[in-house]
Amino acid sequence: DAGVTQSPTHLIKTRGQHVTLRCSPISGHKSVSWYQQVLGQGPQFIFQYYEKEERGRGNFPDRFSARQFPNYSSELNVNALLLGDSALYLCASSLDRGGDYEQYFGPGTRLTVT
Amino acid sequence: GEDVEQSLFLSVREGDSSVINCTYTDSSSTYLYWYKQEPGAGLQLLTYIFSNMDMKQDQRLTVLLNKKDKHLSLRIADTQTGDSAIYFCAPGGKLIFGQGTELSVKP
Q: What is the pLDDT of residues B9-31, one digit of tens each?
A: 999 999 999 999 999 998 888 88
Q: Please report the number of interchain residue pairs, chain A to chain B, with beta-carbon separation below 8 angstroms.
A: 62
pLDDT digits (tens, 9 = 90+) for A8-46: 999 999 999 999 999 999 998 999 999 999 998 999 999
Quote the pLDDT of residue B33: 92
Interface of A with B in 38-97 (CB under 8 A): 40-45, 48, 56, 58, 88, 90, 92, 97
pLDDT digits (tens, 9 = 90+) for B31-82: 899 999 998 889 999 999 999 999 999 999 999 999 999 999 999 999 999 9
Cβ neighbours of residue B1 under 8 Å, at least 6 residues apart?
A: none
Residue among A41, A45, A100 minimizing CB distance to B93: A100
Quote the pLDDT of residue B26: 81
Which of A31, A55, A59, A100 to probe by mutation at the B interface, max B CB count within 10 Å? A100
- Number of neighbours of residue B68 by Cβ within 10 angstroms: 7
Quote the pLDDT of residue B80: 97
Torsion of CA A76, A105, A101, A36, to 10 degrees: -50
pLDDT band at A1 (very low <50, low <70, confident <90, very high): low
Quote the pLDDT of residue A100: 76
Quote the pLDDT of residue B2: 65
Q: Which residues of B touch A44 (CB under 8 A)?
A: 97
pLDDT digits (tens, 9 = 90+) for A62-103: 999 999 999 999 999 999 999 999 999 999 998 776 667 788
B1 pLDDT more than 60: no
Please state, in angstroms and rounded to a whole number, the distance separating the CA atoms of residues A92 and A101. 10
Q: Do B95 and A45 touch (CB under 8 A)?
A: yes
Amino acid at B70: K
Q: Which residues of A touch B2 (CB under 8 A)?
A: none
